[in-house]
Amino acid sequence: MGEQTVQLDGLDARLIALLGTEPRIGVLELSRRLAVARGTVQARLDKLIARGAIKGFGPEVVPAAIGFGVTSFVTLEIRQRYGHDAVAGHLADIPEVLEAHTITGSGDILCRIVARANADLQRVIDQIVGYEGIVRAHTIIALAELIPYRTAPLVQSSYNAK
Amino acid sequence: MGEQTVQLDGLDARLIALLGTEPRIGVLELSRRLAVARGTVQARLDKLIARGAIKGFGPEVVPAAIGFGVTSFVTLEIRQRYGHDAVAGHLADIPEVLEAHTITGSGDILCRIVARANADLQRVIDQIVGYEGIVRAHTIIALAELIPYRTAPLVQSSYNAK
DNA sequence: ATCTGTGCTGGTCAACCTGTGCAATCCGTA
DNA sequence: TACGGATTGCACAGGTTGACCAGCACAGAT
């Protein structure tokens, strides 16, 4: 359940866009801005959440703002017989690992790491490769954020107009 | 303003954690769960937001749930004289580009791309490399999400206990 | 043409929450 | 000991929520 895909329409898209710009807004205010009935907004929101299109409204913590100014992408090569899951478990224990994916191509896992500074990044990477299931790590440091993570344009482009 | 770093304490961390698990919760309910006064919760939240530690409470849209099941990481090599900004502008026009960073090492820009399917990914990449400022693209496809994007463990580990 | 399910509308209701202001209290530091 | 900053408890008015309902419009099925 929830793993299906949802086809958005214009109202859904406007709703998400509006919530994106003014997140703490209420359902009533949303209905006013969108010029629809309050119940409609409630129903749409419920549906989007129920179907998994919207995961949640969690506070978006900015790592850089709480002292983790260095972002890096690390490609890991793993010892196959250990399996991805075991390695994933190891990575999950390290708070600085913000996400991890298995990937195609050279390297087996790509993960996003943050650290307080370059020297601190070294510590984190040492911690990662300290696990015997990991053979090697290739580190790429992010210098500047050209496009911060966003989904708004995607939402806008993804609905088929009524 | 907002680009400084904030030192969290235990209450901040608990507050963020609680908001993470139950995002639609109100300030009053938060204060009850944390066993502090409502005004304190409000003050803390305001401060966290004002200092940039929390960027917002936007709806977290799941690309996979609205039809974009393929995630990939693309490394771009650019023609230096065009400059990063021009390329960033081009990338920003493509909705499927969810984020982009300048990076160290081989390649100049790393970006995260989603697409409806592998064939669709080809279309998006063609669109990206169609710009003359971009020399080459190396594509890595994400097969599975071992660790979905998270900041909770980071927040937990980042405060110095009172 | 009629029926039917679905979604939207506009309205009501009681209960609750928010934003705001204020005086009192606590606590670390000068 | 005195000060400033943070926290607490309390109060108020106004707005919001969740739940409900009847009416209506529309598309598809009969």
Q: Note the helical H segments in chain A.
A: 10-21, 27-34, 38-50, 84-92, 118-129, 152-158
Q: Which residues sit close to strand D, CB under 7 Å? A: A 26-29, 38-39, 42; B 11, 24, 36-40, 43-44
Instruction: Classify burial at A64, counting beta carbons within 10 Å of its beta carbon; exposed 0-12, middle 13-18, buried 19 or more.
Output: middle
pLDDT more than 90, % of chain A: 80
CATH of B10-59, one of 1.10.10.10, 3.55.40.20, 3.40.50.2300, 3.30.1300.10: 1.10.10.10
Copy the structure tokens of residue A151.
Answer: 């989904």
pLDDT tens figures, A39-96: 999 999 999 999 999 998 989 999 999 999 999 999 999 998 988 999 999 999 999 9
Which band of pLDDT confidence, cut at 50, 70 and 90, is reported for residue A17? very high
Cβ distance A110 to B140 less than 8 Å, yes or no, reads yes
What integer pLDDT is reported at residue B18 of this predicted model? 94
Q: Which two tokens stand for residue B157?
A: 């580990």
Q: Would you say residue A2 has pLDDT above 50? A: no
Q: Does A19 touch chain B (CB under 8 A)?
A: yes
Q: Assess A17–B contact: CB distance below 8 Å, yes or no.
A: no
Q: How confident is the model at residue B24 (pLDDT cuts 50, 70, 90)?
A: confident
CATH code of the domain made up of B63-142: 3.30.70.920
Note whether B102 and B53 are within 8 A (CB): no
**B140 versus B9: which is more confidently predicted?**
B140
| Average pLDDT rounded to a whole number, residues B17-44 | 93
Instruction: Determine whether the interchain pair B73/A140 forms a contact, defined as Cβ–Cβ distance below 8 Å.
Output: no
pLDDT in tens, B95-145: 999 999 999 988 899 999 999 999 999 999 999 999 999 999 999 999 999
If phi > 0 it is left, if psi is from -120 to 50 it is alpha, else beta; for residue B105 that is left
Per-residue pLDDT band for A162 (boundaries 50, 70, 90) equals: very low
pLDDT of B131 reads: 94
Helices (H) and strands (E) in chain B, counts: 6, 4
- Please tell me the pTM assigned to this model: 0.90
Check residue A161 and report its DSSP letter: P
Residue boundaries of the structural domains of chain A: 10-59, 63-142
Give the contacts of B12 (CB within 8 A, at least 6 positions apart): B44, B48, B53, B159
Q: Are A72 and A97 in contact (CB under 8 A)?
A: no
The whole-angstrom distance between A123's CA and the closest CA on chain B is: 15
With contacts defined as CB-CB under 8 Å, which chain B residues touch A53?
61-62, 65-66
